[in-house]
Structure 1
Amino acid sequence: MSNHSHHQHSEHHHENDHHEHHNHYDHHAQMVEDFKRRFYISLIVTIPILILSPMIQMFLRVDWRFTGDLYILFALSTFIFFYGGKPFLVGAKDELKDKTPAMMTLISLAIIVAYVYSTAAVFGFAEHDFFWELATLINIMLLGHWIEMRSVMGASKALEELAKLMPSEAHLIDEDGNTKDVDVTELKHGDHVLVKPGEKVPVDGEILEGKSTVDESMLTGESVPVDKAVGLEAIGGSINGEGSLVIAVSKTGNETYLSQVITLVREAQESKSRAQDLSNRAAKWLFYGALAAGLITFVIWISLGYPVSFAMERMVTVLIIACPHALGLAAPLVVAVSTSIAAKNGLLIRNRAAFEGARNMEAVVFDKTGTLTKGEFGVTNIYASNNFREEDVISYSAAVEAQSQHPLAKGVTKKAEEMGLSVKRADNFQSLTGKGLEGTVDGKQVLVVSPGYVKELNLEFDSVQFNKWSSEGKTVVFTLVNNQLAGMIALADIVRETAIDAINQLKEMNIKSIMLTGDNTKVAHYIGEQLGIEEIFAEVLPHEKSNKIVHIQEVEGLRTAMTGDGVNDAPALAIAHLGIAVGAGTDVAIETADVVLVRSNPLDVVNIIKLSKATYRKMTQNLWWAAGYNILAIPLAAGVLYNYGIVLSPAIGAILMSLSTVIVAINARLLKL
C-alpha cells in the first residue's frame, strides 16, 4: 500500500509484517483501537483547553481569566501534543529517516509550529497562543486516521472471511478404525478423516468411502452442489451434504486450495500498483509544495506589515490544509476494495500492475478444451435405422457403455439420463480392443463399435450423415443389436453456453477473440463457428503456444490476454500482457498467471476487463479529488481572499481536510463490478 496506508508509525510499524495475515490483521485492529483511544482521551482534554483559551473567551465575549490559567493551559496542551500527537511525530521521524517526507511529516510540522509558537506566547515571547487550534487539529487528525484505518481494515476483512471458512477440527480415523477429534494442523498426508453430513470438509483430499453432494459455492462460485463419490477430490472449506465421507488427506496447511486463495489475495493486496506509486509521488511533491507555500505565505504577510502572529497563523493553516490525507488514501482503498470484489467474484488477482493494464486489452486468446468447451464429451446427434427409435439406440448403447470408464461412454450414459431412460443391465460385458464394447442386454447381443469395425462387417449405413458429422470433427459410434445396425451416435466436446456470451461481449468492447488449440483443424473450426471466433490457430503443439502469442503481440500489434488451464499453457500465460489461468485448484499455470479464475467461466474474462476499467476510473477520480482539493485549499489558507473577508482558520482547514478523506473513502467503497 502507499506510504500512507501503513501510516509508518514505527510503534505500529508493519512494513515488514509478512507474518501470517492473521497477525497482520490483529495488528491493524490494535492500531485502530489505539487511534480510537487517543482520539477520545484527547477530546476530553480539549474541553478545558477551549474554556481556558483567551481567544475563545474573547470570541464568546466572556472573561474567565485567573492567575496561572495560562500555565494550566500549557500543561494540558503539552499532554495533548505528546499523547495525541505521538503517532504523527513518530511517523514523521520514520518518513524523514527513509528520506520520503509525506503525510506524517506535514502534520507534525503543523503541530510543532503551533506548539512551539504557543509555548513562546505563554512565556511572553509572542502575542497569541494557538493551543486551542493545536488541540482541535490533533483531535480531527486522530479522528480522520481512525475512520480511515477502519475503512482500510474493512477491505482486509475479505481475507478474514476466507480464513474463517476453514474448520479448525477434524475427525481423524486411526488404524483401529476409531475416530478422535484433532486439530486440523495435526493432520498429515495420507491420514484418513471422517466428514459427517452437514460438516465442513477440513482439508483437501481424495474420497475413499461414501457418496454425497458437496456445496463448493463459497470456494468456486459454482452454485449447484457437486456430486462426490469414491476417487473424486474434496476441497477443504466446502460443505458436505447428506452423506458421510471418508477422505485421505492430500494437502495440508499452506498447500490447501483455500490457503492458496488466501495467499493470492494477500499477494494482490500487497503488490504495488502503478496508480499507488503515482499517489506516493504526488504526496511527496505536495509536502515540498506546502512547505514552500507556507514559507512564502509567512514572508509575504510579514513584508506587508502584518504582525508575526498573523503571518504565523496563516503559515500554520497552509501547512495543516496541505496534508494530503486523501491523496495517500486514494489508491490503497480502491485497490483493497477491488481486490475483495474480485475475490468474491472468483477472480484472484496475483499481479496488480497486469490487472490494472487489463483495461487496455485488444485481443483475448482462449485455449479451447476446458475453457471454451466443457472438456467432456456429450451427445450432439442421434441417428436411428431399421425400425429402431432414437430412445432404443441410446438405451442399448448406455447399457453397454455403463460398464466402461471411457469419456465417450460417460457422454452416452449422461444422454440416457437426460432422456429419462433407465439404464438396463448388460451381462457378458467385454471390451473389444480397438473396436468397441460388447454385452448382452435383454437377451440380445449389443455392440457399440467404431466406424472401422462396421466397414469390416460390410454393413450398410447412411454415409452422407456420417461424413457430415465427421467433417465437423465429431466422434461417431455405431450401435448393433443382434448384428443389425440400430443407429449412429455423434459425440463432441460440448461448448460452454457462457463462452458464446463472453465472445459476444468482447466483440461489443472491440476486443478480438482468438482460439489457440492443439486439437485438429476440423474440430477447431466447428467450435469456432458456433462461438463466432474470428481467428483460429489449430493443431498448435504445446511448445508453440507462446510463439503464437508473440506473433499476435508483435506482428498483429495487439495487447493480448491469454486464457488457459493447463501446464502446457504456462509459457504462453507468462508471455502475454495478461495471463489468466482458468480453473483454480488444479496445479494449473497458476504460478505464471496474473489473474486466476476460480470458476472455469469464460464470462469471468470479460469481468476482469470490466473490473479493471472500473478500478482505474475510481482511482483517477480519487486522485483528482484529493489533489484538486489541496490545489484549491492552499491559496485560501494562505489568505489570497483575505481582503474579501474570506479566510480559512486552521480548525476549519483540518475539518475540510478530514472531509476530503472521508469522501475519497466513500467513493472507493462505491466501486462495483
Structure 2
Amino acid sequence: MKGHHDNHSHDGHEHQDHHGNEDHEHHDHSGHDHHGNGHMGHDHGDMVKEFRTKFFISLIVTIPVLLLSPMIQNFLGIDLRFEGDMYVLLVLSTFIFFYGGWPFLTGAISELKDRNPGMMTLIGMAITIAYVYSAMVVFGWPGEQLFWELATLVVIMLLGHWVEMNSISGASKSLEELVQLMPDEANRLKDDGSIETVAIQDLTHGDSVLVKPGEKIPVDGAITKGSSQVDESMITGESVPVDKSTGEALIGGSINKGGSLTVEVEKTGDDAYLSQVVEMIRSAQETRSKTQDFTNKAAKWLFYLALAAGFITFAVWILLGAPIDTAVQRMVTVMIITCPHALGLAAPLVIAVSTSLSAKLGLLIKDRAHFEEARKTDAVVFDKTGTLTQGAFGVTNIQTFGELSRTEILKFAGAVEKESEHPIAEGILNDAQEKAIELYESENFQSITGKGIEGQVQGKTIHVVSPGYVIDEALTFDDTEFQKWSEEGKTVVFLLIDEHIEGAIALSDIIRESSKEAVKTLHDHGIKAIMLTGDNEKVANYVAKTIGIDEVYAEVLPDKKASKIKEIQERGLKVAMTGDGINDAPALATADLGIAVGAGTDIAVESADIVLVDSDPKDVLGIFRLSKRTYSKLVQNLIWASGYNIVAIPLAAGVLAPVGIVISPAVGAVLMSLSTIIVAINAQLLRRFRIE
C-alpha cells in the first residue's frame, strides 16, 4: 500500500467506531454444539436432469403413439391403420409406461409405504390402470384402448415435475460456499523462523502462521506481529476494511489488505467462526416450517375419491346386472377421468410462469414454499451495509472555510488521495469522477502515521488529515458542521493548504436512492421496516431517520443476528430478512422469508429464499405483490382442476345412463383436456403482472 489514513478520530468519534464498532476479541464462538460436519442438504441437480431427459425422450415416443391411436386418427380425419399396428402401439406405450412413468411408480410405492398417498400415488394409479386396461383391450378385452391418454399423462407429469424441480435449489450450496471462503493452505512459521506450507486441517492451537498482503486469513487467531487493514466484509458485512494491530483478533476467511501479519492460531475446525455459521445455517434450515404443497393435499383427497368412486361404480353396475366388461369400463372411465392432468399442471404451470416472470423483474425465487408465504409478511428486516446503503464510502458533505469552492476542495484533496489506496481516498476519487472534476497533479506524496497524508500540489503543501491532526496542531475552525456530521456517524477529513484549513469533507456509506421510496411503499401496505446491523448506533440511527425506518437494532454481533430475528418473530410478526453479507446468512435462513441482494456474497445469496438481482430495495414489495398474485392463481387453478372432477366423476360413473347419457373413457379424456387448457390459459394470465 502506498499510503493510508490510519485513524480519523476526534473525541470518541473513532473511525473504526463508525464502521463496525465490534470488538472481535470478545466474540464468543463457543456456545454452539456441533454434530459432525454439518448437514449438506439434498442436491436436486441429478433429479432435474433425470426429469428433463425422461420428458424429452417420452415426448418423442409419444408422437407415434398419438398417430397410431384410432381416436386421434378419427379426430384428425386420417387413417394410418395397418396390420399389427396395435401391437406396435403396445410396445411404444410399454416403453413410456416403464421408462417415463418409473419416477411416479416408485414415488407411489414410497407414498403408500409411508401411508401418505398423494400426487405420485394418484399418477401411478392412473397410468397403471390406463396401461393394464389398454393392454387387455389389445389382447381382446371389449373396450377402447387408452394408450394416448397414458402417454400424454406421463409426458405432462414429467414436464410438471421437471419445472418444479428446476425451481428448487438445494440448501447444500450455502454451506459449500462458506467452506470455499477458507483457503486450503497456510504459511506456518517453524521454530527456526523458516516457513512451511501446510494444509489448514494440520494447524493446531498455538501455531503461528504468516499472512501476506492480499491473502485470506486461514484461521481464527490473534495478531502477534504486524499491523494491517483487514477486509471483513465477507464475514461481517462491514463495508470499510478494519485497522488491525498486535493483540487484535482475526476471523478466518477475512482478507489481509495491507502489511504482513503473524497470527497465532486460536480456533480451528468446528470451533472456528465460519464453522459455527455453517452450523447456524444448518439448524435454521432444519427448523424451518414445512409448508405442504396445495397440489399434494388435493391429490391426496383425489386419490381417495378416485379409489372410492371407481370401486363403488364397479360394484353398482355389477349389482344392476351389467356385464363385467361394462362395469370395468365404467370403473376405468372414472379412474381415468380422475387422472390429474389439470391438477398436475395447476401448480407447476403457475410456478413456471411465476418463476420466469420474476426473473425478468429481477427476482430470483429459490424456495417456492417460502415465496408463497411471503404474502403474509408483517415486517421486513433490512441489513444496512450493502442493502439500504451501497456498501462503499462516498462523499456526503463538503464545507469550505476560505475562498475555495467545493469543486476546488475536491481537486486539491483528490490530487493527493490519488496516491492512496484507503477507502476514504476511493470515496473522494469516486465523487470527483462522478462530478467529472479533473484533479490536479501532485508530487512528494507521503503518509503521516495515524494522521493522514500529504503532498505537493501547484507548489503548495497539501494535507488531507484527521480531526486528531487538527487538534494536535491547535488549528481553529467553525466546528458546528463537524459536530453534526460526527453525531451522524460520518467520517470527516480536513483539507489543509500550507497549514491553513480550507475545507472539510464528510464521508459515509452512501444510502441507496431507492431505500427511502422502498420503506415508504412498505408503510403504505401496512408492513413495518426494521434495521438490523452490526454497524455503529449513530450511523444506524442516522440512516434509519433519513429513510424512515421504524425500529433499529444496531451493534448486533454477526452471530446474534439470527437471535434478533427470532425475537421479532416471537412478537407474532411474519418476518422477511433482507441482507447481503455472510453475517446475514443465519438470519436469512431463520426468517420466514430470506431475501438476498444480488450484489452480496454467494453465501448470503444461497442462504436466501429469494435473490434481488438488481439489489434494489424497492423490489422487496414486488416480491409480496407477486406472491399474492401467484397464490391467487394457484387457488384458481386448483378450483378449476378439482371442480372439474367433482362434476365429471359422477357423469363418468354413469349417473345419467338411465336417460341415455354415457361418457366413454375417450370422451372423458377429451373433457379432461379442456380442463387442462383452462388451467394453462389461467396460468399464462399471470404474465400481465407488473411491479408498480
TM-score range, shorter chain: 0.5 to 0.7
Deviations 1:123-145 (A, max 9, x none): xxxxxx42xx32xx333443455
Q: Secondary structure at the match of 1:671?
A: helix
Partner residue in 1 for 2:477: 461
Partner residue in 1 for 2:623: 608
* C-alpha contact (below 8 Å) 2:656/2:662 kept by paired residues: yes
Q: CA deviation at 1:521?
A: 2.1
Q: 1:633 to 1:88 in 2, by over 3 A?
A: farther
| AA matched with 1:612 | S
* C-alpha contact (below 8 Å) 1:512/1:534 kept by paired residues: yes
Q: Secondary structure at the match of 1:552?
A: helix
Q: 1:603 to 1:426 in 2, by over 3 A?
A: same
Spell out the pairing of 1:167-206 with structure 2 (5 A cutoff). none
Alignment partner for residue 68 of structure 2, among 24, 41, 45? 41
- Give me the whole-angstrom Cα distance separating, in 2, the residues matched to 1:542 and 1:96: 45
> How well do the aligned residues superpose, as a CA RMSD in angstroms?
3.8
- Give me the whole-angstrom Cα distance separating, in 2, the residues matched to 1:550 and 1:290: 44
Q: Does 1:365 align with 2:374?
A: no
* C-alpha contact (below 8 Å) 2:387/2:579 kept by paired residues: yes
Alignment partner for residue 30 of structure 1, among 42, 57, 80? 57
- Give me the whole-angstrom Cα distance separating, in 1, the residues matched to 2:58 and 2:542: 59
Partner residue in 2 for 1:187: none
Partner residue in 2 for 1:655: 670
* C-alpha contact (below 8 Å) 1:42/1:84 kept by paired residues: no
* C-alpha contact (below 8 Å) 2:416/2:455 kept by paired residues: yes
Deviations 1:586-641 (A, max 9, x none): 34334543334444322333333333333322222222211111111111222333
| AA matched with 2:656 | L
Q: Does 1:421 align with 2:437?
A: yes
Q: 1:416 to 1:664 in 2, by over 3 A?
A: same
Spell out the pairing of 1:587-598 with structure 2 (5 A cutoff). 587-598=602-613
* C-alpha contact (below 8 Å) 2:531/2:553 kept by paired residues: yes
Q: Secondary structure at the match of 1:493?
A: strand
Unaligned runs of 5+ in 1: 1-14, 53-71, 122-128, 160-205, 207-267
Partner residue in 1 for 2:30: none
Alignment partner for residue 495 of structure 1, among 504, 511, 522? 511
Q: Does 1:84 align with 2:89?
A: no
- Give me the whole-angstrom Cα distance separating, in 2, the residues matched to 1:18 and 1:389: 60
- Give me the whole-angstrom Cα distance separating, in 2, the residues matched to 1:141 and 1:550: 49
* C-alpha contact (below 8 Å) 1:478/1:487 kept by paired residues: yes
Spell out the pairing of 1:22-421 with structure 2 (5 A cutoff). 25-42=52-69, 76-77=85-86, 79-81=88-90, 83-84=92-93, 87-88=96-97, 91=101, 94=106, 97-98=109-110, 99=112, 101-110=121-130, 112-113=132-133, 116=136, 129-130=142-143, 133-134=144-145, 137-143=146-152, 145-146=154-155, 274=291, 276=293, 278-304=294-320, 311-421=327-437
Alignment partner for residue 565 of structure 1, among 580, 585, 590? 580
Q: Does 1:665 align with 2:692?
A: no
How many residues matched?
Answer: 518
Deviations 1:454-494 (A, max 9, x none): 23333332222222222222222211212222122222211
- Give me the whole-angstrom Cα distance separating, in 1, the residues matched to 2:303 and 2:382: 47
* C-alpha contact (below 8 Å) 1:275/1:619 kept by paired residues: no
Q: Secondary structure at the match of 1:533?
A: coil
Spell out the pairing of 1:612-651 with structure 2 (5 A cutoff). 612-651=627-666
| AA matched with 2:619 | D
- Give me the whole-angstrom Cα distance separating, in 1, the residues matched to 2:289 and 2:554: 38
Deviations 1:410-442 (A, max 9, x none): 222222223332111111111112222211111
Question: If the length of structure 2 is used for normalisation, what is the TM-score?
Answer: 0.66
Deviations 1:646-668 (A, max 9, x none): 44232221101122223333433
| AA matched with 1:29 | F
* C-alpha contact (below 8 Å) 1:155/1:340 kept by paired residues: no
Q: CA deviation at 1:535?
A: 0.4
Deviations 1:34-70 (A, max 9, x none): 222322233599669x999xxxxxxxxxxxxxxxxxx
Deviations 1:79-137 (A, max 9, x none): 5455436534774864664435322422442564466478667xxxxxxx42xx32xx3
- Give me the whole-angstrom Cα distance separating, in 1, the residues matched to 2:471 and 2:560: 37
Q: Secondary structure at the match of 2:394?
A: strand
| AA matched with 1:41 | L
Spell out the pairing of 1:413-492 with structure 2 (5 A cutoff). 413-492=429-508
* C-alpha contact (below 8 Å) 2:65/2:89 kept by paired residues: no
* C-alpha contact (below 8 Å) 1:152/1:333 kept by paired residues: no
Specify which structure has the bigger relative contact order, considering alpha-carbon pairs within 8 angstroms and separated by 6 or more residues: 2
Deviations 1:531-552 (A, max 9, x none): 1110011222223322322221
- Give me the whole-angstrom Cα distance separating, in 2, the residues matched to 1:640 and 1:31: 36
Q: Secondary structure at the match of 2:686?
A: coil
- Give me the whole-angstrom Cα distance separating, in 2, the residues matched to 1:488 and 1:548: 38
- Give me the whole-angstrom Cα distance separating, in 2, the residues matched to 1:592 and 1:93: 33
Q: Secondary structure at the match of 2:539?
A: helix
Q: CA deviation at 1:355?
A: 2.9
Q: 1:316 to 1:44 in 2, by over 3 A?
A: closer
Deviations 1:193-244 (A, max 9, x none): xxxxxxxxxxxxx9xxxxxxxxxxxxxxxxxxxxxxxxxxxxxxxxxxxxxx
| AA matched with 2:471 | K
Q: 1:29 to 1:635 in 2, by over 3 A?
A: same
Q: Does 1:526 align with 2:542?
A: yes
Farther off after superposition, 582-591 or 403-412:
582-591
- Give me the whole-angstrom Cα distance separating, in 1, the residues matched to 2:627 and 2:609: 13
Q: 1:415 to 1:275 in 2, by over 3 A?
A: same
- Give me the whole-angstrom Cα distance separating, in 1, the residues matched to 2:43 and 2:600: 29
Q: 1:389 to 1:109 in 2, by over 3 A?
A: closer
- Give me the whole-angstrom Cα distance separating, in 1, the residues matched to 2:358 and 2:539: 34
Q: CA deviation at 1:371?
A: 1.0
Partner residue in 1 for 2:566: 550
| AA matched with 1:103 | I
Q: 1:285 to 1:87 in 2, by over 3 A?
A: farther
- Give me the whole-angstrom Cα distance separating, in 2, the residues matched to 1:108 and 1:643: 30
| AA matched with 1:332 | P
Q: Secondary structure at the match of 2:386?
A: helix
* C-alpha contact (below 8 Å) 1:581/1:588 kept by paired residues: no
Q: CA deviation at 1:326?
A: 1.7
Q: 1:498 to 1:428 in 2, by over 3 A?
A: same
Farther off after superposition, 457-466 or 307-316:
307-316
- Give me the whole-angstrom Cα distance separating, in 1, the residues matched to 2:290 and 2:626: 15
- Give me the whole-angstrom Cα distance separating, in 2, the residues matched to 1:22 and 1:576: 31
Q: Secondary structure at the match of 1:467?
A: helix
Question: If the length of structure 1 is used for normalisation, what is the TM-score?
Answer: 0.68
Deviations 1:249-290 (A, max 9, x none): xxxxxxxxxxxxxxxxxxx9xx998454x4234334423322
Q: Secondary structure at the match of 2:69?
A: helix
Partner residue in 1 for 2:257: none
Q: CA deviation at 1:21?
A: 5.7
Q: CA deviation at 1:367?
A: 1.0
Farther off after superposition, 587-596 or 510-519:
587-596
Q: CA deviation at 1:342?
A: 4.0
Unaligned runs of 5+ in 2: 1-41, 169-214, 216-284
Q: Secondary structure at the match of 1:652?
A: helix
- Give me the whole-angstrom Cα distance separating, in 2, the residues matched to 1:382 and 1:484: 16
